[in-house]
Structures are given as C-alpha cells and as structure tokens.
C-alpha cells in the first residue's frame, strides 16, 4: 500500500515540475540595440524587467509553497504508515536489521577490542607473575627458616638453599627458557589486546 502511495506521489511531483518548465511567456520579441532607444524607452524597459522579475519570483514562490505543502502531506502519510509498521514484529525486526547494517561493523570492532583488553590484560599479569615465581624458585638461591626461637621476637635461623633445577637443565638453561617464555607471553598478550 505504501509503495503505491510513494509511486503516485513521485509521479505527481515529476509531472508538476514538467508543467512548470513547460510554461512560456507569449508575445513577439524584437532585438534592438540600446543605442537606438530613447531614454524613456530604456527606463520603461528597466521598470518592466523589474516588475517581470518580481512577478516571476512571486509565481515561483507560490509554486514552491504548494510543492512544499504537498511533499509535507505525503511525508506525513508516510510517517504514519512507518509508525504503524514499526509497531509490528516484522517492523521491529526490520528496524533491528537496518540498525545492524548501519552500526554492525563498528559494534563488532568495539566488542573485539573490549574482549581483547578484558582477557589480554589479566592474562599478561597472571602469566608474568607465574613466570616470575617459577624463575625465582628455579634460578635464585633462597633463604629458608630452619629454626625459630620461643615467643614472637625469638631468634630465627635461616639456611641458604641453592636452586634445584628440575630435569637435565641447569640454572642458565632455565633462565633462558623463562626469558623466551616471557617474550612469548608479551607477544600473545599484545595480539590479544591490540589485534
């Protein structure tokens, strides 16, 4: 129904613009150089041109007003039909699809960046802390309390324990492995956050 109304209004507006362009001023036109006219004739021509321009402007203003009122009425009818359509389930689905078409790509980018920051930042800090703990345990000598005296301020004895690397690797191998793992964590976290 609304498609038919829109086609009729479009045809009406096109026809009215063709009618406006088809109007022609009647009469015979003579071309005479201004040097052959008297001053009175020149003054009369200038006054007539001013009056003709004013009349034409008035006519065009009236036509423009009528076209504006017609378009306003047509758009009011279209607005009413669109409001009725938007109240239906199909209309709401259509509005959602239009909104998705306009904003969908931007929304996906924002959600992707947000999820990267939400997952990537904690991943970086937690894995970095885990690597730091592991590096400290496997590569540095540690102080361990072996004896505690009585009371809160009692004497304490500490023993220095050398690092105890696991497997066939020595301390230097574990240090290199931790450095490589930390670089990998930085790269993976950067990809999660910034890609």
Taking only the tens place, the pLDDT of each residue in 104-161 is 889 998 998 899 889 999 999 999 999 999 888 888 888 888 888 777 777 888 888 8
Is residue 145 within 8 A of residue 156, CB to CB? The reply is: yes
- 20-25 contacts, C-beta under 8 A, 24 or more apart: 20/63
The whole-model pTM stands at: 0.46
pLDDT of residue 13: 72
Q: What's the pLDDT band for 21 if we cut at 50, 70, 90?
A: low
**C-alpha distances in Å from residue 37, one per residue of 44, 92, 106, 195:** 11, 72, 71, 81
More confident position, 51 or 141: 141
Domain ranges of the chain: 47-87, 109-194
pLDDT (tens digit, 9 = 90+) per residue, 152-182? Answer: 777 888 888 887 767 778 888 889 999 999 9
Backbone φ and ψ for 143, nearest 5 degrees, come out as: -95, 130
Residue 64 burial (10 A CB sphere; 0-12, 13-18, 19+): exposed
Taking 80 as the threshold, does the pLDDT of residue 50 lie above it? no
pLDDT of residue 19: 53
pLDDT of residue 26: 61
**C-alpha distances in Å from residue 182, one per residue of 126, 132, 172, 177:** 12, 9, 15, 9
pLDDT of residue 52: 67
């Amino acid at each position: 129904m609304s498609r038919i109304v829109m086609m009729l209004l479009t045809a009406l507006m096109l026809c009215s613009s063709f009618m406006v362009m088809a109007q022609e001023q009647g009469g015979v036109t003579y071309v005479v150089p201004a040097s052959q006219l008297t001053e009175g004739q020149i003054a009369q021509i200038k006054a007539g041109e001013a009056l003709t321009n004013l009349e034409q402007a008035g006519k065009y203003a009236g036509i423009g007003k009528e076209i504006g009122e017609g378009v306003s009425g047509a758009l009011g009818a279209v607005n009413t039909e669109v409001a009725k359509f938007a109240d239906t389930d199909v209309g709401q689905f259509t509005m959602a699809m239009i909104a998705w078409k306009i904003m969908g790509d931007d929304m996906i980018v924002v959600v992707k960046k947000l999820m990267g920051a939400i997952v990537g930042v904690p991943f970086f800090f937690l894995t970095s802390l885990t690597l730091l703990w592991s590096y400290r345990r496997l590569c540095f000598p540690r102080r361990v309390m072996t004896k505690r005296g009585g009371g809160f301020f009692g004497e304490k004895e500490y023993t220095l324990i050398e690092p105890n690397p696991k497997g066939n690797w020595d301390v230097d191998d574990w240090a290199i492995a931790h450095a490589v793992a930390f670089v990998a964590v930085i790269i993976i976290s950067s990809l999660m956050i910034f890609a």
